[in-house]
Amino acid sequence: MRKQETKNVITELETYLESFSEFEKRAAGRNLPWLRSLREDAFARFCQVGFPTTHDEDWRFTNVSAIARTPFRLARNGFARVSQKELGPWRVAGVACQLVFVNGRFSRELSSMGNLPVGMKVNGLGKEIAGNPTEIEPHLGRYVDTQRDAFCALNTAFTEDGAYVHIRKGAVVEGPIYLLFISSAENSPSMSHPRNLIVAEEDSQAIIVEDYVSLDPGPAFCNTVTELVAGDRAVVAHYMIEREHREAFNISTLRIEQGRSASVTSHSVLLGGGLVRNNVHPVLMGEGGECLINGLFVGNGRQHLDNYMLVEHASPRCDSRQFYNGILDGNAHGVFHGRIIVHKDAQKTDAKQTNRNLLLSDEAQIDTKPQLEIYADDVKCTHGATIGQIEEDALFYLRSRGIDEVSARKLLLFAFATECLDRMKQGLVRKHIEGLINHSLFQVANTRAEARANSRKDEGRSWEEMG
């Protein structure tokens, strides 16, 4: 039995070994010794730990064997196939710049760089590694945990391209920096490992949006890592939108390193994807930092949406807030795993965590696991979690005001989702996300209404038969 398992693991890893040795021969920056050893160490570590199983406490509710079983190959440079026209629906007007990545590779032709303000630099990471490695070296791979996290190790091993954003000291970038990640299907299951590095220097301000979409159905595996470094007093807002196809696997890790009095907000909106795992891991390194993690996940069909938050308070007088709302319908499975660690010297910490969930169908599942680990004494930490359904009283109230049932349900769902929207700053991005949420909630409410109508039809029939 055990032998069989080991054998499977070996065949699983073999495809990755092949991909890796091929990748190493042609990857950008292969002659930089620090990058080479970074990749090699990470790959060795990945081979050691292998894919996590549900026996792994951090992956208790999420089974990634579907990813492990599928022989994913590195996606080839397919951007020649993507035309400007195909990109049309994904364009967002009014942004500072829109960078387009096809299967994890930066495409200069498809991107619109706009008029970049002074003090800001955006580029593909691959190009920066080739042309400007000294700027990348102090940050790349310095923050993520490749020892424990197999997916981070895998991404680090295949690090080649992604977004590089650098905001200089004191620069304020008004418009959002929009990063669009497109996965386009190939004949065989393909994987991509976009790696983003965002450095906001002291006193700078920026808004960054990561948007994950797929052009066509097909099994694709996107394993992203974003390292965000916020210098002292920097203000950074990060948005992550997942709206890939239902066959897609998406594992993303956002690792935030915050300096003194820095303020970072992370907003995640998970609407699409088949198996999605979203890791957000801020470390409050400097005193007086502030961190807001806000999220909404809407699951339907057979979607599996896993949110893993780990907030580390490493310095005194930091505040952190986590708010996650989940709406689950159909056979969807939602997971919220929130963990707050307050280190020994992080006195005067104020950490809050709230997770609220709506279950709309009997087949939907939610597992929530809020955790507090506290090693300091002068702290204020709370967490709360609720699970429920649409309040019958609220529904009745709306119905008594002459609103039909479907609309009433929609209203209540929107109200629940708006809690999450309200924590985003007014502006272009919020509007954009609002549109996306409305669209997916409409779908949820309508399928619910149809299901109800069907069941009522059945009831009616049986009534007649009885009469």
Partner 1 sequence: MNSNLNTIRDLADREYKWGFVTDIEEERVPKGLNEETIRLISAKKKEPEFMLQWRLKAYHHWASLEKAEAEPKWANIKYGPINYQEITYYSAPKRKPSLQNLEELDPEILRTYEKLGIPLEEQKLFAGVAVDAVFDSVSVATTFKDKLAELGVVFCSFSEAVQKHPELVQKYLGSVVPYTDNFFASLNAAVFTDGSFVYVPKGVRCPLELSTYFRINAAETGQFERTLIVADEGSYVSYLEGCTAPIRDQNQLHAAVVELVALDNAQIKYSTVQNWYPGDKEGKGGIYNFVTKRGKCLGVNSKISWTQVETGSAITWKYPSCILQGDNSVGEFYSVALTNNYQQADTGTKMIHIGKNTRSTVVSKGLSAGHGQNTYRGLVKILKGATGARNYTQCDSLLIGDRCGAHTFPYIEVRNSTARMEHEASTSKIGEDQLFYLRQRGLKPEDAVSMIVNGFCKRVFRELPMEFAVEAQKLLSVSLEGSVG
Which residues contact partner 1 by CB under 8 A? 57, 61, 347, 357, 359-362, 364-389
Q: Minimum distance from CB of 386 to partner 1 (Å)? A: 5
* 40/345 with CB nearer partner 1: 345
Output the CA–CA distances (angstroms, integers) from residue 99 to 106, 125, 266, 428, in the order listed.
7, 12, 20, 17
* 116/381 with CB nearer partner 1: 381
Q: Minimum distance from CB of 272 to partner 1 (Å)? A: 22
* 360/421 with CB nearer partner 1: 360
Q: Minimum distance from CB of 358 to partner 1 (Å)? A: 9
* 57/465 with CB nearer partner 1: 57
* 65/386 with CB nearer partner 1: 386
Q: Minimum distance from CB of 409 to partner 1 (Å)? A: 13
In whole angstroms, give the CA distance from residue 31 to residue 36.
7
Phi, psi angles (nearest 5°) of residue 29: 75, 20
297: which residues sit within 8 A by CB, 6+ positions away? 268, 269, 270, 271, 305, 307, 324, 325, 326, 327, 334
Burial 327-353 (b: 16+ CB within 10 A, else e): bbbbbbbbbbbbbbbbbeebebbebbb
Strands (E), 129-194: 163-167, 177-183, 190-192
DSSP sequence for 36-50: HHHHHHHHHHHHHH-
The pair of structure tokens assigned to 415 is 């109200």
Q: Minimum distance from CB of 144 to partner 1 (Å)? A: 24
Q: Minimum distance from CB of 5 to partner 1 (Å)? A: 16
- Using alpha carbons, select from 325, 330, 296, 302 the residue that is nearest to residue 447: 330
Asked whether the CA dihedral 16, 19, 21, 27 is positive or negative, the reply is negative
Q: Minimum distance from CB of 148 to partner 1 (Å)? A: 16
Instruction: Centre a 10 Å sphere on the Cβ of residue 309 and count the other Cβ atoms it contains.
Output: 26
> Collapsing DSSP states into helix, strand and coil, what is residue 201?
coil
Q: Minimum distance from CB of 284 to partner 1 (Å)? A: 17
Look up residue 307 and give its amino acid.
N
Phi, psi angles (nearest 5°) of residue 384: -145, 145
Which residue in this structure is represented by tokens 């620090």? 34
* 197/318 with CB nearer partner 1: 318
* 40/378 with CB nearer partner 1: 378
**Number of helices followed by number of strands (H, E) in the chain:** 10, 21
* 156/357 with CB nearer partner 1: 357
Asked whether the CA dihedral 108, 114, 115, 118 is positive or negative, the reply is negative
Q: Minimum distance from CB of 357 to partner 1 (Å)? A: 8
* 347/418 with CB nearer partner 1: 347
